[in-house]
Amino acid sequence: MMEVSFQTKDNVTIFADYYTPQEFLQGQLKGIILIHMMPETKSSFKDFAEKLTDENFFALAIDLRGHGKSTDYEGIKLDYSFFTDTEHQKSILDIRAGVDFFKKKIIQTYAVISASIGANLALWYQSSNTDVAKTVLLSPGYNYRGIKIQPLLLQLEESQGIYFIGGSTDNKTAALDSGQNAGQIVQVLYNETRVRNKKMEILSTDAHGTELFKFDSTLMDRVIVWLGNEN
């Protein structure tokens, strides 16, 4: 793993952990961008990123603006806890900067895997970028910091894939806008998704976001199998 940094379009310095396979197969290089939940950082995806490299994926785990080491904006210190909804929404530019990082290394951004607010951001990005084949959404919400997920589902191309995961007793932040738990939200979103390649898991837990990986020790493996399937 190597720590890297790059600039967003609006001049925020983003830090990320860049994971590369020890050996990778010939052909198109596939990259996975990993987006953490609040108040976590890029390190919350460390174990999963290492598993991805074992399967010949490149991985880029980002500190979203105002989190971890991504706090510099032209000399001003950013702190997510003081962000308005509009400022949170600008984190979409952090994903774009990660995609640009991969492009410079001739790596295709194959998928975005994300948790909580990161899940809504990831779907937002996928819905307007058909080159992102897949997203994995851990504990998404209907309306997270003004990022409304249901209209975004309708913008997906049929060829894109999406994997929803939520806990049946998770009543944390992602569910506050509806009174539903994360598992119920995942069920509704799955039903409304029109793409052919969709998958859903509702786990019997109150674990939220990347905590789901700790609850279910084989979840990472199931996600990686789904990523590796071409359909």
Interacting residues of 226 by C-beta distance below 8 A, sequence separation 6+? 134, 136, 161, 163, 199
Q: How many CB atoms lie within 10 A of CB 159?
A: 11
pLDDT in tens, the chain (231 residues): 999 999 999 999 999 999 999 876 666 799 999 999 989 999 999 999 999 999 999 999 999 999 999 999 999 999 999 999 999 999 999 999 999 999 999 999 999 999 998 999 999 999 999 999 999 999 999 998 889 999 999 999 999 999 999 999 999 865 566 789 999 999 999 999 999 999 999 999 999 999 999 999 999 999 999 999 876
Interacting residues of 118 by C-beta distance below 8 A, sequence separation 6+? 35, 36, 37, 64, 209
Q: Give the domain 2-228 fold.
A: Rossmann fold (3.40.50)
d(CA 203, CA 219): 10
pLDDT value, residue 117 = 86
Q: How many CB atoms lie within 10 A of CB 110?
A: 19
pLDDT value, residue 193 = 96
Can you give the residue ranges of every domain in the chain? 2-228
d(CA 116, CA 186): 12
Q: What is the pTM of this model?
A: 0.94
